[in-house]
Amino acid sequence: MLGAVFKGKLDDGTWVAVKSIEGQENGKLVFRLEIFAIVSVDHAHLVCLCRYCLHIVETGGTFFIDYDFFRYGLLDNWIFSKDDDKIVGFLSWKQRYRVAIEVAKALSYLPHNCCQRILHVDIKLENIPLDMIFEQLPLDFGLSKLVSKDASRVVVEIRGTYVYKAPEWDSIHGISEKCDIFSYGQLLLDIFFTQKYAFLDQDGTDIYRRYSDGGNIQRQQ
């Protein structure tokens, strides 16, 4: 299992999101890369590390990473309902626009301004937690890739969420930060069409029409 997340409470009463990495041969490598990625960044809209630990058992080890806990959950819960569950809340057009801008700032920071160049490689609604006052829109680093400052492309194994992956993923020439831009474009379609995995062959005037009608966005499943 990679990336299961639990709600936890520290001895001082602080609530945290506990992410476990286990059951994989490369679990230790994934754990180390994620820790290194997190400590390499200093940006208001990127997740912060609280602590980490390793639990050793006979069958192997389980790695745990503690992040700040975000009471309002993940962005996808504000855009889509899950099965029979109700949507968590409603985001206005202004709030959706702000989400789009702040995520773009964070994505620009990773490959260009971070001390260690990072490709996120798994941009999607499920990886954008919100804090209680919507001041931070941080990104989860679960599948991030560290890249040399001098490298324009890097070859990685196929992973991430298929619909968000750029065509370059299927190329032997590797991927670049432009793949994150492709995923970001799909993210925008999801946010503003309020439809999972929306595509550009839909009516291009749909978003403007909804906005002109008063900004009342109807969810579609």
Q: Which residue matches tokens 């504000």?
A: 78
Q: Which residue matches tokens 């062959």?
A: 201
> Measured on CA atoms in the order 151, 27, 130, 167, is the torsion positive or negative?
positive
Q: Which of 11, 66, 85, 122 is catalytic?
A: 122
Contact (CB, 8 A) for 148 and 93 = no
Q: Which residue matches tokens 């001041």?
A: 135
- Please calculate the CA angle 85-215-93 and round it to the nearest 5 degrees: 75
122 annotated active-site: yes
Catalytic residue positions?
A: 122
